[in-house]
Every structure is written in C-alpha cells, then in structure tokens.
Amino acid sequence: MRYIFGVLCLVLFLSYNAQAASNEEAATVKNCSGAALIVRQNITLPVKKHDRIFAGDLLRTGRDGTMGVIFKDNTTLSLGPRSELAIDEFLFAPSQGKLSIVTRMFRGTVAYVSGVIAKLSPQAVRFETPTATIGIRGTKFLVKVDGGETE
C-alpha cells in the first residue's frame, strides 16, 4: 500500500511540474491598437499593453487591429490588421539546452525579428504558414498570408 501511495504521489508531482512548465510566460504584449485579442483555452480575451502570452495562445487582430509582441529571448513579432497566429511552442532555458519557438500563421501580415533562440539554436525555430514552413537562421522577414476574414 505504501508503494502505491508513493507512486501516486510521484505521478501527481510530475504532472504538476509538467503543467507548471507549460504555464510559463513566453512573451509580453508591448503595444496594441484597435481590435486585438488573445484566444487562450477557448476563451477570447481583449489585449492590452503588458499582457502575458503563453505557449498555446492564439493571437488575433481585427480589421483595425495591430499587436507588437516581444518574447523572453527578445524575438519580436508585429501583427498587422486581420492577422491570426498561434504560439505552438516556446522553450527558453539556455542553461538546460531547452530552446524552441514554433509559430503557426493562419492569415494576415507579420513582421518577425529573431532573438536569442535563433542565434543559439537556429534549427529550433520554425515559422509555419498554410503553404510553407520557414526555418529561421537569425534574420528579419515580413510574411503575408491571404485567408478568411478575422474580426
């Protein structure tokens, strides 16, 4: 019985630690205007300056919306009007060798400037669109994806 209790405690501890790690802040909203939203766990939240962004969040701007985001590794994203982008993964623990940023863009325009992750581990950065995946090698770029309407 003591063994089962110990195993159960270990499973709960590991589960809690995995959940805590996924709840770490990935980025912060530096500026926004117009209709700008974060969709987190199927809840839509209006964006304001200094809001925290987490892996799993979907960033969305409306017809008159813009949003500027800076990640913990100094990667920056600027979303233009009618844009939608998911933060699929963000890991920034250089001392542990855990580095990754994966975004998925559905529509709109995004300006990207790479941060520390792209410098330390270029293969750990991916920017996905409906028709292509871009591997980042420490650079700046602007991407436009045509798609359906976003409000």
- Which tens digits make up the pLDDT trace of 30-45? 999 999 999 999 999 9
Q: Are 27 and 69 in contact (CB under 8 A)?
A: yes
Tell me if 10 is assigned to some domain.
no
Least confident of 2-16, 52-66, 115-129: 2-16
Q: What is the SS3 assignment for 10? A: helix
Q: CA of 26: how far to CAs of 65, 74, 102, 147, in Å?
A: 21, 10, 11, 26
- How much of the chain exceeds pLDDT 70, in percent? 78
Tell me if 17 is assigned to some domain.
no
Tell me if 151 is assigned to some domain.
no
Question: What is the residue type of 83?
Answer: S
Radius of gyration of the chain (CA): 17
Tell me if 18 is assigned to some domain.
no
Q: Are 92 and 71 in contact (CB under 8 A)?
A: yes
Task: Check pLDDT > 50 for residue 6.
Answer: no
Least confident of 3-7, 31-35, 57-61: 3-7
Domain extent at residue 102: 25-145
Tell me if 80 is assigned to some domain.
yes
Tell me if 4 is assigned to some domain.
no
Please, which pLDDT band fits residue 1 given cuts at 50, 70 and 90? low
Total of domains in the chain: 1
Please, which pLDDT band fits residue 106 given cuts at 50, 70 and 90? very high
Q: What is the mean pLDDT of the chain?
A: 84
Q: Are 131 and 103 in contact (CB under 8 A)?
A: no
Tell me if 6 is assigned to some domain.
no
Tell me if 1 is assigned to some domain.
no
Dihedral sign computed on CA atoms, order 132, 135, 136, 137: negative
CB neighbour list of residue 103: distance below 8 Å, 6 or more residues apart: 77, 85, 86, 87, 88, 126, 127, 128
